[in-house]
């Protein structure tokens, strides 16, 4: 019998055909999706002290199940502001209070929203030994079960039933005692930030007005960007002194909630494409924006690193898509103050790191062939960015991948020039 099968080394004894089937190496040029933000909330419903993910589709189809309120409820304004642009939100409820309850059940989550629940128990018209148990929220039915005893009840999205209760007909048993809990502290925000270290997002929302909390968010952003290599930007209210490309400081007040514009800005920044800018973008939210600024104040605000809105005819628009970086160095010039530049560089950093970690780390040998493969992937990725007009075209020969100081390391040099959208027009008209 002849030998056969696959081979690792050319050391077979028997004659035969030894054939390996492998896929041709393919270059990757996949840009990671944008549109994800991390948001801490003080709310009257929802999972307490844990992260939960909501996509734009979830929000559209199951808003009340998730947040406890329909999308058009007054309590939902900040969620609406976010999802005008957001494709995915990583939410975290900061507060935890008391769960509302009645004799037959307890609200699934703590908060004042639980007090809007009512249970209605009535005899079943077809079987007198059974009961119809209806869960109402704002007097609208959200669940209906027919059971012989409480032990048969299945917990629903809003109520955890008391299985040891004795069912009896009732016209309506309201829930009582639900509270939102104590005021949120800096510790609550710190726990939120710790939870976010295991998630991936483009923007982080800081809705707090407390300077100490804003300082914690700023330090967290710097540590994650500069030490952990996790690239995102944090949106907060009036902290232009941060002087850092990772911090966006919203300057304008909103009448409904002073710092309310951080929510729309968080969503808009997260969802902005790598080859786009938010500059001159129309604010399409529902807040009343204070745009009472002179041209001099707007110019001074831009020089100070403030993200500002201004009025153009009947519209409220973003003045310039900038962050708080105002101190420029040889390593970080003025270009780094523009969020479009930062978006491009962050996208490259995150995508190349992801590609290396999934395709090369612990998998690809660090030899000439392995480094050529990595070089080819990086070149292909940069060509895709150039095709999207996010960066200037890169000469392949300018990108280098070499062996590092150890057998396990590689050193990559990848010069890029981000492209920005047109912002200023200087034109001379010669009249003859």
Name 293's Cβ contacts closer than 8 Å, sequence gap at least 6: 301, 308, 310
Token output for 261: 């514009």
CATH topology of domain 101-174: Immunoglobulin-like (2.60.40)
CATH of domain 36-94+183-318: 3.40.50.11790
| Alpha-carbon torsion angle 187, 189, 193, 195, nearest 10 | 80
Q: Which residues of the chain have pLDDT under 50?
A: 1, 4, 7, 17, 19-25
The Cα–Cα gap between 166 and 153 comes to 12
- pLDDT tens column, 296-353: 999 999 999 999 999 999 999 999 999 999 999 988 999 999 999 999 888 888 888 8
Residue 8, pLDDT score: 52
Please state, in angstroms and as integers, the Cα–Cα distance from residue 39 to each residue in 3, 52, 251, 307, following that order: 62, 10, 19, 19
Residue 30, pLDDT score: 63
The Cα–Cα gap between 290 and 400 comes to 50
Residue 140, pLDDT score: 97
Give rounded-to-5 percent helix, strand, coil for the chain.
30, 20, 50
**Cβ of 314: how many Cβ atoms within 10 Å?**
6
The Cα–Cα gap between 245 and 342 comes to 7
Task: Give the start-end residues of each E strand in 188-274.
Answer: 203-205, 233-237, 247-250
CA-based angle 428:302:37, to the nearest 5?
A: 120
Q: Domain extents for the chain?
A: 36-94+183-318, 101-174, 360-413
The Cα–Cα gap between 423 and 279 comes to 8
Residue pair 382/394 in contact (Cβ under 8 Å)? The answer is yes
Residue 24, pLDDT score: 46
Instruction: Give the SS3 label for residue 370.
Output: helix
CA-based angle 33:35:40, to the nearest 5?
A: 130
pTM of the model: 0.88
DSSP output for 156-192: -SSEEE-TT-----EEEEE-B-----SPP-HHHHHHH
- Cα 63 to chain centroid distance, Å, stands at 17
Residue pair 393/420 in contact (Cβ under 8 Å)? The answer is no
Residue 19, pLDDT score: 47
Residue pair 324/317 in contact (Cβ under 8 Å)? The answer is no
């Amino acid at each position: 019998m002849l030998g056969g099968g696959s081979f690792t080394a050319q050391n077979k004894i028997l004659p035969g055909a030894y054939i390996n089937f492998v896929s041709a190496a393919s270059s990757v040029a996949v840009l990671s999706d944008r549109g994800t933000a991390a948001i801490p909330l003080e709310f009257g419903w929802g999972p307490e002290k844990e992260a939960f993910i909501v996509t734009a589709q979830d929000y559209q189809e199951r808003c009340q199940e998730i947040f406890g309120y329909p999308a058009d409820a007054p309590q939902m304004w900040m969620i609406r502001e976010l999802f005008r642009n957001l494709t995915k939100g990583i939410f975290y409820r900061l507060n935890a209070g008391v769960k509302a309850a009645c004799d037959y059940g307890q609200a699934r989550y703590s908060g004042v929203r639980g007090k809007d629940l009512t249970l209605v128990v009535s005899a079943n018209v077809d079987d007198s030994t059974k009961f119809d148990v209806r869960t109402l929220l704002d007097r609208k039915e959200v669940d209906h079960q027919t059971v012989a005893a409480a032990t048969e009840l299945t917990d629903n999205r809003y109520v955890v039933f008391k299985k040891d209760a004795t069912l009896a007909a009732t016209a309506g048993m309201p829930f009582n005692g639900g509270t939102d809990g104590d005021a949120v502290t800096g510790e609550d925000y710190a726990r939120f930030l710790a939870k976010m270290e295991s998630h991936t997002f483009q923007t982080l929302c800081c809705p707090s007005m407390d300077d100490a909390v804003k300082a914690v968010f700023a330090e967290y952003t710097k540590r994650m960007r500069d030490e952990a290599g996790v690239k995102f930007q944090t949106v907060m209210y009036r902290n232009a002194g941060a002087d850092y490309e990772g911090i966006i400081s919203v300057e304008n007040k909103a009448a409904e909630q002073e710092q309310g514009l951080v929510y729309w800005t968080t969503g808009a920044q997260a969802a902005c494409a790598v080859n786009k800018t938010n500059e001159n973008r129309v604010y399409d939210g529902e807040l009343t924006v204070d745009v009472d600024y002179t041209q001099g104040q707007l110019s001074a605000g831009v020089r100070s690193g403030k993200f500002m809105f201004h009025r153009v005819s009947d519209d409220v628009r973003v003045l310039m898509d900038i962050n708080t970086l105002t101190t420029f160095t040889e390593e970080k010039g003025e270009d780094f103050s523009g969020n479009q530049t930062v978006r491009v560089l962050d996208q490259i950093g995150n995508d190349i790191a992801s590609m290396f970690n999934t395709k090369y780390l612990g998998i690809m040998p660090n030899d000439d062939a392995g480094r050529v493969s990595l070089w080819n992937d990086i070149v292909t990725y940069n060509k895709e960015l150039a095709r999207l007009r996010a960066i200037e075209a890169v000469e392949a020969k300018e990108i280098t991948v070499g062996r590092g100081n150890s057998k396990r390391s590689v050193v990559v040099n990848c010069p890029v020039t981000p492209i920005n959208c047109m912002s200023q027009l200087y034109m001379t008209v010669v009249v003859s």
